[in-house]
Amino acid sequence: MEQILILDFGGQYKQLIARRIRECNVYCEILPYTTSLETIRALQPKGIVLTGGPDSVNEPQSPSYDAGLFSLGIPVLGICYGAQLTAKLLGGAVVPAGVSEYGHSDLFVDVPDSALFSGVPSETSCWMSHTDRIERVPDGFLITAHTGNCPVAAMEDPDRRLYAVQFHPEVVHTPEGAVMLRRFVREICGCSGSWHMSAFAQEQIEALRKKIGPARVLLGLSGGVDSSVAAALLSRAIGKQLVCVFVDHGLLRKNEGDEVESVFGENGGFDLQFVRVQAQERFYRALKGVTDPEQKRKIIGEQFIRVFEEEANKLGAIDYLAQGTIYPDVIESGVGGAVIKSHHNVGGLPKTLSFRGIVEPLRQLFKDEVRAVGLELGLPASMVYRQPFPGPGLGVRIVGEVTPEKVRIVQEADAIFREELTRAGVDVGKGQFFAALTNMQSVGVMGDARTYAYAVVLRAVITEDFMTARAARLPYELLDTAMNRIINEVKGVNRVFYDLTSKPPSTIELE
Ligand code: XMP
């Protein structure tokens, strides 16, 4: 398959580089800079990108590479550290910049007919982040762009198809960056742009059939996007040889269990063996009296694994365990290393079960690609665009002890809140929006009677990466309506709060 390799020198934007290249319908993979030249040669990539990195190329301990990389006849694009490394390895000079350059810089393209910059205005801007700079370009290279502080913002040797940019074309703050990356992969490397999710799905289905043969595969289905798309793909590949075990731990959102069953159960559109385990009582029992949040998480995780194992043991011989691992999971756990993604992220792999192997059909995909495959295979949009939901479910949205009564309250309140968000046309795609339950009861008055009831918290955050988040500025009318409905329709609630805190110092979930 046609592909671009991204050699990782520790840059924080490596995932973004991969995203941008995939957006050009070109497949790419990130490999650590320790990958040997022979391996790279054997992979026959159409092009190679060297990422940025936190080090200085002049330090002896800094990551480097075999200069033979530049003689493979394969186009190379060095970015930031990758650019400096290109300069250094080919005989140029890199020096401390004197003044570090961070953030926006005006970029002047000096060679407008450069294959990399064709179509880019001669004056544009770029995002810089560096303390060293290229002082002298290697023989054969010409300087193709500069900024006020950086005489060599880009250089190239078009004959050898070697390119380097000091700035970061992969970030949105370099407005023409996507154009440049597209020029590199499509024009300079000559990739055809045939990476489409419909083709991926078809190829993957064939590959799964070949790998699995007549064997049986077990998948822990949570109803989340990744495990659902994995189920859909496997179902198309091997039908009833796929067994999906869906554990209802009693901490799901309102109607969620039924929704999952309607898609994957008897009357859904997928051919597979669907097992829904009604384990609510068991989880409630295990959680009785437990108030410590970490303890709750642990109990839910352990119970989950135990239930899963018990079900698996009832199924007879199973050959493969399938997992909905996706590419960011692979990258996060160290490129090339083994990934073990637990169902729901709550427990880890079942310990007492043994399998011939693991099947991870989504391992190569980014989240939006996973969604595209899901739609392609006929999963409902509501499932494909489902909001992230923590593995321990409502267990971590109920502060203090989890009881069936509290679960009912938070399910009802959350359903109302989400209905009102939909009615108000709020785009929930960029965040997490839900109701949670405080452990606080207080006095209120309803009708002529005093009440002593719970306070519900509405939580709505906007976030890019779930590492930081800020409270959404929801319309007051929406909050007012949601509050009114929750008070009127959910028994046991007499106050509704809106959580205004950002993360940090708060977290997204409440407990
Ligand atoms: P916090 O509250 O830590 O949440 O800001 C960040 C993101 O992680 C999800 N989350 C979890 N996911 N198991 C999970 O699988 C957990 O125990 C858990 N706790 C939080 C949360 O929903 C948000 O998307």
Flag whether 303 is in a domain: yes
Query: Which of 188, 219, 245 is the last residue before a domain boundary?
Result: 188
**Is 80 designated active site?**
yes
Flag whether 394 is in a domain: no
**Is 168 designated active site?**
yes
For residue 19, give its domain range.
3-188
Flag whether 507 is in a domain: no
Flag whether 410 is in a domain: yes
56 and 161 inside one domain:
yes
pLDDT at position 342 is 36
| pLDDT per position as a tens digit, 333-367 | 654 433 333 333 444 566 677 899 999 999 999 99
Flag whether 508 is in a domain: no
461 and 375 inside one domain:
no
Strand 93-109 and strand 142-146: the pairing is antiparallel
Flag whether 393 is in a domain: no
Say how many domains are in the chain: 3
pTM value is 0.87
Cα dihedral 190, 207, 264, 342, rounded to 10, equals -90
Give the amino acid at 434: F
Flag whether 238 is in a domain: yes
* Environment class of 65 (CB within 10 Å of its CB; exposed 0-12, middle 13-18, buried 19+): buried
Query: Which of 188, 217, 244 is the last residue before a domain boundary?
Result: 188
Q: What φ, ψ does residue 188 adopt, rounded to 5°?
A: -70, -45
170 and 311 inside one domain:
no
Give the tokens for residue 458: 């509405």
- Residue 11 Cβ < 6 Å to ligand 1: no
328 and 424 inside one domain:
no
Q: Are 32 and 331 in contact (CB under 8 A)?
A: no
Nearest partner of 131 among 50, 56, 51, judged by Cα = 56
Q: What is the biggest distance separating any 2 CA atoms in the chain, rounded to whole angstroms? A: 89
Report DSSP letters for 475-497, one per residue.
-HHHHHHHHHHHHHHSTTEEEEE
Peptide bond into 361 cis (omega under 30): no
Domain harbouring 140, CATH code: 3.40.50.880
DSSP state of 396: G
CA dist., res. 365 & res. 327, Å (int): 5
Contacts of 393 (CB under 8 A, 6+ apart): 249, 251, 252, 253, 300
Residue of 130, 146, 168, 344 with catalytic role? 168
Nearest partner of 133 among 149, 117, 109, 116, judged by Cα = 149
- Residue 470 Cβ < 6 Å to ligand 1: no
Task: Give the residue ranges of the chain where pLDDT is below 50.
Answer: 335-347
**What stretches of 284-410 adopt beta strand conformation (E)?**
320-322, 357-359
243 and 226 inside one domain:
yes
272 and 372 inside one domain:
yes
DSSP state of 125: E
152 and 250 inside one domain:
no
308 and 181 inside one domain:
no
CA torsion through residues 266, 268, 274, 280, sign: negative
Query: Which of 326, 355, 384 is the last residue before a domain boundary?
Result: 384
pLDDT at position 447 is 87
**Is 170 designated active site?**
yes
Contacts of 244 (CB under 8 A, 6+ apart): 219, 220, 221, 231, 264, 272, 273, 274, 275
CA dist., res. 78 & res. 175, Å (int): 19
155 and 281 inside one domain:
no
Q: Which atom of ligand 1 is nearest to the CA of 469?
A: 5
Domain harbouring 483, CATH code: 3.30.300.10
pLDDT at position 343 is 34
371 and 474 inside one domain:
no
205 and 226 inside one domain:
yes
- Tell me how long the chain is: 511
pLDDT at position 334 is 58
Cα dihedral 396, 397, 399, 405, rounded to 10, equals -110
Domain harbouring 231, CATH code: 3.40.50.620
Flag whether 203 is in a domain: yes
pLDDT at position 333 is 66
183 and 63 inside one domain:
yes
Ligand 1 centre distance from Cα of residue 386 (Å):
15
Taking the mean position of all CA atoms in its chain, how far away is CA 403? 32
Q: Which residue's CA lies nearest to atom 9 of ligand 1?
A: 390
